[in-house]
Copies of this chain bind each other. A is one copy, B any other.
């Protein structure tokens, strides 16, 4: 079940990478690398920081195949991808919910402080997009206008609140992930964003 969600998230992340790379007029190799980095970059950075190497995508080929297939699909149907925008947004949102909780749990296994765990969860979910934007020579979009990281932080915090209750750990996982997804959906629906704090 979680595995399927993980794959859906990977598809959404990879396609978002393809779309950005196409706009930057990259060649086939560049597009594939950007798709790949967007999909696995956050988890890779997390694994490197906690010292879990070789990093996880080196040990399970499924994600490599999913990224390659998604990239080919997105390039072939690039003029029709707009029709999928809603599904992709949904996959992406479910994906960050899952990635956040997986990151939090990896931090807990490594014996780290809850705040660090929340940070690791947020990084797993968001930093693929950050690396994508850096490689494409843009200021990362999540630093400017999306309630993306905030949703992950709230979901991670929920994890540590809920885990003290007498409920099964699978439920904790689902509840924390649901918080991420709900916050993100609400923020996008009502166009809520963080203020820029820039002084004019």
Using CB atoms and an 8 Å cutoff, list the residues of chain A in contact with chain B.
21-31, 33-34, 44, 48-51, 53-55, 58, 61, 64, 75, 78-79, 110, 112-113, 115-116, 130, 134-140, 142-145, 149-150, 153, 193-199
Contact = CB atoms under 8 A, between A and B. Distances in A.
Contacts of A196: 25-27
A82 to B, nearest CB: 12
Given A44-B49, A48-B48, A198-B25, A112 B143 contact: no
Q: How many chain copies?
A: 3
Nearest to A193: B27
Contact of A27 (B30, B49, B115, B145): B145
24 contacts: A22-B197, A22-B198, A22-B199, A23-B198, A24-B139, A24-B144, A26-B144, A26-B197, A27-B145, A29-B150, A29-B194, A30-B144, A33-B149, A48-B49, A49-B53, A49-B54, A50-B58, A51-B53, A51-B54, A54-B110, A61-B113, A135-B143, A136-B139, A137-B139
